[in-house]
Structure 1
Amino acid sequence: MKSASRTVLHAAHGRVMALMLSLATMIAPQEARAHFSYSDPRIIHVTENADGNVEIFMRMPVPLALLPEDWKGNAETRLPPFAVSTGNSAALDVSALDLTNPELAAVLERSLTVQMDGETLQPVLRAFRVWHDSDRPRFGTAKTAIAALENNSEPKPVPYFDATLDIRLALPGINLNRDMRLTSSLGENFQVIEKFGTVVKFHRSEGTETKAIIGVLDVSFPPVTTRLQTLRNAALSGAEHIYLGLDHLGLILLIALAATGWRQALGWASAFTLGHIITLAAGLYGVAPAASWFIPVIEIGIALSIVLAGVAIFLKANSAIGWVSLFFVGLIHGYGFAASAATALFAGDFDPPVLLAFAAGLELCQFAIYALVLPAILIFDRYMPMTPVSWRRAVALGIALCAVFATLSRLSVVSGAFAVA
């Protein structure tokens, strides 16, 4: 446990330093590398059917599954695989969406590789289903995933870059009482993969173990998972949510810059966490709009909250930052997580201890970052020369400017430009 905590602490320190050193580079426009949003995670369920064989249900954006590795994003002139031209855009070719299409079946089977006790296995494709992003059913539990794949409605033309793919894979003769590793090279050459999340739910008779990762898929499950390990994994997921998110790190730095001492900084951080957990839990119970615009709008709200906090510090309006304001900011941030990866991370049989462990991970990671940042701020205060614009105000303004550009980028998502830089 000490090793895991040390890893989280070092990673948090690295992310904080990276944020402070890269303010200028973040402002520069960046080229889009892929045409799908990272707001919606890839969701994977690993289960055993009534015959004792392993089945895998996976949901992901169609472009992640089907685009070639050398796809050039907005600069690409080729028609995507399994697509037909519809003027200035592309739609999935309904005639090609058939299990009898060997090329399509081969592509989908390669979307996931499984290792059991070190032995590499290739899952067999059993079924697949394509949805428009706005029409897809729930997929957060094994039961809803099975129902989505058993839908017998006829496939309809779907815009290629607004499409979701559900697939059902099988591993005959295999059970879950073994060490399992899931890997996939999908999207490894896309810049968007650096922000793309995957949630894997491993359903055993003893219970469900959930792991959430960012980036290229590589996740392992030991033969047996204890209750303590499940809670520890939830806590680590909470910590990762902080130190892997520039939005959260930016807000933590602003709180540290505005606070007059340790107690005030930690109190404000706790108010933020409280709001975050309330809307996270609310989202899990479905108290959130299901429309496709909701996640992008929440993302804009998160970026704007950082802009306003940074400007308030720069203008010396520190009274604008306090328990109440940070509690409401936490509400916005919590809905952002609940609407995407958290829906899958905690969906199914609601387990309050897992959510509390996740919250503990959030809080402990924040405290670890403050333990690194607050002493550094005191040192800077002591040795930085006095100027009309203090270094604290300058850094706050820099963070606010970065958030302005993030806001503009997310506005393009709301307007329908889902090409993510």
Structure 2
Amino acid sequence: MPLIVTFFRIGRVGCAGVFICFLCLASAFAHFSEGTKVRTVLVTKENGTLTAFVRVPAPLVFSDLIGRSQVEQVPLVSPYLRFERTSGGSRYVVDMTAIAADQGGFEDRLVNALKFSQAGLDLEAGIAGFAVHARRPDHALTSVEAARSAISKAGAPQDPAFGEAVIDYEVRLTSNDSSGILGLRSGYAPLLPGPGISIDNHLLDARTEPPVSATVPGQLETKVFMDGSRLSTFIHFGQQGVLHILEGLDHVLLVVAMALGVGSIRKLVWLVTAFTVGHSVTLILTFLGATPSWPWFIPAVEAAIAASVLYAAVAAMVRRSGSIVVFGAIGLLHGLGFSFVLGDILGRDAPDLLPALLAFNIGIEVGQLVILTATLSLVLVLKRLAEPALNPMRMGALAGISILATVWFTERLQGVAASV
């Protein structure tokens, strides 16, 4: 009997240990809430000295440790983080006392989080100051003054939750060419962000006047370059516009339905023009600050976009392609959707806002033309090689679009109801 009791106690202790490890591991995976997380890098030169200001979500400074804990399925361990249980569960916090006791070690972690290089060689770097915030500051990092103000403010009064903490820091770089092309990459292995989470990097080159900005997705595993070129920025945001419409399935299917529903190329041109004018107007006006702040507004727009795809598909099936006014109104809806995406990759206070807006819009038009060209080319090939199959395939495609749009509309209506 004593032996059985002993085994029982050992087993109970072992289970408790496993349970604690599971809690730690689960907490390690939940470092980000859903949405886009932004790291901002502002580069400037002062009296010939190259300086970078960085604002970064705290988990990206520990991405190597988080990634290791995810891969090896072990708790996250760092001298600057502390695991604690709360009334709502458990979490990691940034240990401000540990940072104060080992400021040099923490600065080493910051300076190694991003690697700056020129001509293929890493630049020597040193931390000139940092501040840990409990959450992302309200003011954007758009100038040297704003960056230094954020660093000069006192750090978090209490140990902040790790997943919500944001770190501002200043890096002094040793360079013989402070105006030269600057390479930038992550110094640590990436973490796994999880579903519903994306990471963007806002890069602001303030070595030129006015400054030049760009946005790069991901954790900078691959080196990116800051060269102060306005042409590079224009091309970058043009590419973002092309990628967005090609990756946005609802926008793609709307254009496909338009192409399949219009028998006359001339009328298709007019409808596409109306759609283009509509989304250009709302993309620009909404992004410049005309979007209402009601919590249900964005979900309602997304639901209306799904409804517009359903309308275009059904109209094409019954051979009623719609009017210029209708597709102009649909364009207004889709422009709102485009502006939500652009808001994630470009701040409204970006220094080169108007060129970026123009380039993004042009990119959308290029992507739209690619979709139209591909759809009409496929129709032409089928008409020449297998004309009897053309109409059944056309109706099948439109039926599939209708079903998918109905599913989207139903799901998005639930989002509207949840936000009201």
| TM surpasses 0.5 | yes
On the 8 A contact 1:268/1:326 being kept in 2, the answer is no
SS class of match (2:346): helix
Larger deviation, residues 302-311 vs 401-410: 401-410
Distance 2:194 2:217 in 1: 12
Distance 1:399 1:283 in 2: 28
Tell me what 2:311 maps to. Answer: 312
Tell me what 1:395 maps to. Answer: 400
Distance 1:412 1:186 in 2: 40
Distance 1:118 1:359, change over 3 A: same
Offset of residue 280 of structure 1: 4.3
Match for residue 69 of structure 1 among 67, 70, 78:
67
Q: Does 1:114 align with 2:127?
A: no
Distance 1:80 1:133 in 2: 22
Distance 1:407 1:397 in 2: 15
Kindly provide the CA deviation profile for residues 122-153 of structure 1, in whole angstroms up to 9, marking residues without a partner as x.
53233333445575322244443333223236
Q: Does 1:329 align with 2:333?
A: yes
SS class of match (1:178): coil
Distance 1:228 1:95, change over 3 A: closer
Q: Which runs of 5+ in 1 are unaligned?
A: 1-31, 416-421
Correspondence 1:162-201 to 2 at 5 A? 162-173=164-175, 175-184=177-186, 185=188, 187=190, 189-190=192-193, 195-201=198-204
Q: Which runs of 5+ in 2 are unaligned?
A: 1-28
Distance 1:410 1:96 in 2: 42
Tell me what 1:27 maps to. Answer: none
Distance 1:96 1:348 in 2: 36
Tell me what 2:91 maps to. Answer: 90
Correspondence 1:5-16 to 2 at 5 A? none
Aligned-residue sequence identity (percent) comes to 19
Distance 2:410 2:167 in 1: 31
On the 8 A contact 2:200/2:345 being kept in 1, the answer is yes
Distance 1:34 1:47, change over 3 A: same
Letter in 1 for 2:311: A
Offset of residue 336 of structure 1: 0.5
Tell me what 1:46 maps to. Answer: 43
Offset of residue 237 of structure 1: 3.4
- Structure with greater Cα Rg: 2
Distance 1:189 1:92 in 2: 19
Tell me what 2:354 maps to. Answer: 352
Match for residue 204 of structure 1 among 202, 207, 211:
207
TM-score by length of 2: 0.71
Offset of residue 350 of structure 1: 4.8
Tell me what 2:11 maps to. Answer: none
Distance 2:360 2:252 in 1: 17
Offset of residue 388 of structure 1: 11
Distance 1:411 1:78 in 2: 38
SS class of match (2:34): coil
Kindly provide the CA deviation profile for residues 315-338 of structure 1, in whole angstroms up to 9, marking residues without a partner as x.
448677832432331342143034
Letter in 1 for 2:96: S
Structure with bigger RCO (C-alpha 8 Å, 6+ apart): 1
Distance 1:43 1:156, change over 3 A: same
Kindly provide the CA deviation profile for residues 227-256 of structure 1, in whole angstroms up to 9, marking residues without a partner as x.
544433443333233334445434444444
Distance 1:97 1:142, change over 3 A: farther
Distance 1:178 1:135, change over 3 A: closer
Letter in 2 for 1:339: G
On the 8 A contact 2:305/2:334 being kept in 1, the answer is no
Distance 1:140 1:222 in 2: 16
Kindly provide the CA deviation profile for residues 142-194 of structure 1, in whole angstroms up to 9, marking residues without a partner as x.
44333322323644444333333333222134543222211115536445699
On the 8 A contact 1:231/1:353 being kept in 2, the answer is yes
Match for residue 53 of structure 2 among 25, 36, 57:
57
Count residues with an aligned counterpart.
375
Offset of residue 94 of structure 1: 4.4
On the 8 A contact 1:92/1:160 being kept in 2, the answer is yes
Offset of residue 52 of structure 1: 2.4
Match for residue 148 of structure 2 among 135, 146, 170:
146
Distance 1:221 1:348 in 2: 18
